Amino acid sequence: GIQVEQSPPDLILQEGANSTLRCNFSDSVNNLQWFHQNPWGQLINLFYIPSGTKQNGRLSATTVATERYSLLYISSSQTTDSGVYFCAVVYSWGKLQFGAGTQVVVTP
Amino acid sequence: DAGVTQSPTHLIKTRGQQVTLRCSPKSGHDTVSWYQQALGQGPQFIFQYYEEEERQRGNFPDRFSGHQFPNYSSELNVNALLLGDSALYLCASGDRGAVYEQYFGPGTRLTVT
């Protein structure tokens, strides 16, 4: 099956810092989603991004489908950005294949 | 606009028992998928229901079964529970057969003792 790799596995940031999370995937996909999982387990949709760049406030994402990777940018990080960030590739009738996630801790 | 809902929130069962988890999709969605998330891992696809039929299935044993009702809500049943079935169970819904963006419910945390 398709492989999804996320890096780095862990990230510690000081409040106000910028960071980039990466997602590599092994095969062509229909689409890609980025999620933030809060401490209670809820997966919150961040981006639905098959290609190109999207921005939502301090977050932005870029997917280069031809090179099989996606990037999530967090700018001016805040403590509320802490949590686990997952990318998931969409293939085979909407089946999502998740990466292992990036655990982000933002310290005051 | 109601989002994806799941019940119950938490559940504690004993090895060998059976459990049923429930999911109501986001308004307007017709496809429901179930995922299992073990501690410290990404969610793993269990199966997907569309038009009241199981359309595709992940690498899970037959102890895991499901159902979709005419109103698009869904149930996940797990028989003969094992300690390893302890996990967060997530339901996702999408429209037009889930070919577009999918949304997740808050999950059901199952503990098997």
Q: Cβ contact (<8 Å) for A42 and B31? A: no
For residue A76, the 8-state DSSP code is S
pLDDT digits (tens, 9 = 90+) for B60-107: 999 999 999 999 999 999 999 999 999 999 999 998 755 678 899 999
- Find out whether B41 and B84 touch, Cβ atoms under 8 Å: no
Q: Cβ contact (<8 Å) for A94 and B104? A: no
Q: What is the mean pLDDT of residues A98-105?
A: 97
**Mean confidence (pLDDT) of chain A:** 94
Chain A hits for B58, Cβ within 8 Å: 95
Question: For position A30, what pLDDT does the model report?
Answer: 77
Q: Cβ contact (<8 Å) for A95 and B107? A: no
Chain B hits for A101, Cβ within 8 Å: 41-42
Question: For position B1, what pLDDT does the model report?
Answer: 66
* DSSP result, chain B: ----EEE-SEEEE-TT--EEEEEEPPTT--EEEEEEE-TTS--EEEEEEETTEEEEE-S--TTEEEEE-TTS-EEEEE-S--GGG-EEEEEEEESTTTTS--EE---EEEEE-
pLDDT digits (tens, 9 = 90+) for A42-87: 999 999 999 999 999 999 999 999 999 999 999 999 999 999 999 9
Mutate to test the interface with A, among B1, B21, B102, B111 (most CBs of A within 10 A): B102
The Cα–Cα gap between A41 and B91 comes to: 12
The Cα–Cα gap between B8 and B89 comes to: 11
Under an 8 Å CB criterion, which residues of A touch B?
30-31, 33, 35, 40-43, 45, 48, 86, 88, 90, 92-101
Chain A hits for B90, Cβ within 8 Å: 41, 43
Chain A hits for B92, Cβ within 8 Å: 96
Give the chain B residue whose CA is nearest to the CA of A42.
Answer: B106
Max CA distance (Å), chain A = 42
- Find out whether B93 and B103 touch, Cβ atoms under 8 Å: yes
